Amino acid sequence: MQTILNVEGMSCSHCENAVKKAVSAIDGVTAVEVSLAGKTVSVTHDGRVSAEDIKREIEEAGYDAG
Ligand SMILES: [Cu+2]
């Protein structure tokens, strides 16, 4: 399964890595691609993970996801 979300608030590669790290830590996530320029995160995951789970992790890391 793949979920693509918009991420607001990333301004540098550190932010990009912070989002990648936070989302990668979710149980059931197998791949994460973050685009700083495109303000998106593309997440490959299994059925245990919902878009809400991903959103929550990104928000806990300090960014806005939608
Ligand atoms: Cu940054």
Domain coordinates in residue numbering, the chain? 2-65
pLDDT at 66: 85
What is the CA 7 to chain-centroid distance, rounded? 8
Instruction: Identify the CATH assignment for 2-65 out of 3.30.428.10, 3.90.1150.10, 3.40.50.2300, 3.30.70.100.
Output: 3.30.70.100
Going from the Cα of 33 to the center of ligand 1, the distance in angstroms, rounded, reads: 16
Going from the Cα of 9 to the center of ligand 1, the distance in angstroms, rounded, reads: 8
Q: Please give the angle made by the CA atoms of 62, 7 and 10, to the nearest 5 degrees.
A: 60
Q: What is the pLDDT of residues 13-66, one digit of tens each?
A: 999 999 999 999 999 999 999 999 999 999 999 999 999 999 999 999 999 998
